[in-house]
Amino acid sequence: MPGTPAVPIAGNRFCIVGGASLVGSATAGELLDHGAAEVVLFDNFAFGSDAAIEHLKDHPRLRLVRGDVMRMADLLRATEGMAGVLQLAAYMTLSMDRDPWGGLDVNIRGVQNALEACRANKVAKMVFASSNATYGYGPGVAGDLVEGTPFHSAGAPPAAILYGASKIIGEQLCRDAYRKWGQDYVVLRYSTVYGERQHYRAANALYIIETYDAVKRGEAPQVFGDGSETKHFVYVGDLARANRMAFESAATDVAVNASGPAPITTLELVKLVTQLAGGGPEPRFVGSEPGKVRLTSGGAFRIAHEEAFRAIGWKPEVDMAEGLRRLITWRERSNASGR
Ligand SMILES: NC(=O)c1ccc[n+]([C@@H]2O[C@H](COP(=O)([O-])OP(=O)(O)OC[C@H]3O[C@@H](n4cnc5c(N)ncnc54)[C@H](O)[C@@H]3O)[C@@H](O)[C@H]2O)c1
């Protein structure tokens, strides 16, 4: 049985599975800043990239390990001597749409493999990146989404449901490991992540980038429906802090939401991005695009994060205006440097 579920960062070693990623790169920085003895970024680069971790590559306490979460031997080697494992490796909805079985393998078997590696190497705690997709999508998703809110699937695209269901299974595998061998864990259900080193793999964050690019080209940004539908994002730096605090806290055997300070309507988002891009044409209201995966609720919802404060002492700090400003500054800089 592992010891206390509270894992201090300073002096300890951590492995981030799927670490060459948006969330992984931010969390690695956070753990190193808090004195981690070593951070191992384990990734097969299916989606991750050198660019995502460029800013860390010469850090003396960072080690990059190329490996596949589907190969137990790779994982066993990478997690040896670790106090904590952050399990991020996954296919999100857009990738799940292209390759459902690849996604189900990584999102389910990959999680079990990470748990087995924790057991074999006596890793004290695993933090698992789940998602607000565990509440599903479609018109049934409305109001305050709290941890006990059931899964809605009617009217949603199959890939979004496969993704959400695979995260539900991942969470249950963590609970099972806790019950069977006392594996301490915290599940964080991230809402849509955005921030520096943004990628194009998450449908809602992609919408921010598409809107920004359209405005910069002088084109009218597109708003689907009447623009009143809400989205609830979380800034990547806030999530990095949540991951760190999940290790440090005494919490175990819990699943909590990690969302930004407040939701935003599609129209508000488009107006904010347009303003941050220096102004541009009025938005164009359009219907749905055939063949494209869109994650809609059709109504207003908020992802409650109060439980995360109770469990791990975390609450989000960066609001949309500030987070978008940071994302856009990063994008302008990377465009200017040709990356
Ligand atoms: N980005 C979001 O909006 C969002 C929202 C909710 C939850 N999440 C979850 O957070 C986590 C991180 O998200 P992200 O945006 O940083 O994702 P990402 O796509 O940047 O990262 C996933 C990483 O996993 C790696 N990976 C995939 N298959 C692998 C395999 N077989 N072996 C080893 N590595 C593998 C990829 O190369 C990639 O670097 C994921 O689990 C995702 O489901 C993300």
110 CA to centre of ligand 1 in angstroms: 12
State the Cα–Cα distance between residues 87 and 9, nearest whole angstrom.
17
- pLDDT tens, residue order, the chain (339 aa): 345 799 999 999 999 999 999 999 999 999 999 999 999 999 999 998 888 898 898 999 999 999 999 999 999 999 999 999 999 999 999 999 999 999 999 999 999 999 999 999 999 999 999 999 999 988 778 889 999 999 999 988 999 999 999 999 999 999 999 999 999 999 999 999 999 988 887 777 888 988 999 999 999 998 888 888 889 999 999 999 999 999 999 999 999 999 999 999 989 999 999 999 999 999 998 876 655 666 666 667 899 999 999 999 999 999 999 999 999 999 888 877 655
Contact 277, 219 (CB under 8 A): no
Any idea what the CATH number is for the domain that residue 181 is in? 3.40.50.720
Which atom of ligand 1 lies closest to the CA of 234?
3
State the Cα–Cα distance between residues 39 and 137, nearest whole angstrom.
35
For atom 39 of ligand 1, the residue with the nearest CA is: 48
30 CA to centre of ligand 1 in angstroms: 18
What sign has the CA pseudo-torsion 184, 195, 306, 133? negative
Identity of the residue numbered 275: Q
Dihedral of CA atoms 270, 275, 280, 285 in degrees, nearest 10, equals 20
Domain that holds residue 130: 13-194+234-260+302-317
Q: What are residue 129's DSSP bridge partners?
A: 188
Q: Is residue 307 part of a domain?
A: yes
Q: Is residue 60 part of a domain?
A: yes
SS3 assignment, position 224: strand
Number of separate domains in the chain: 1
Determine if ligand 1 sits within 6 Å of the CB of residue 20: yes
Phi-psi map region of 243: left, alpha, beta (phi>0 left; psi -120 to 50 alpha): alpha
Which atom of ligand 1 lies closest to the CA of 194?
3
Q: Is residue 35 part of a domain?
A: yes
Q: Is residue 295 part of a domain?
A: no
Determine if ligand 1 sits within 6 Å of the CB of residue 109: no
Predicted TM-score (pTM) of this structure: 0.95
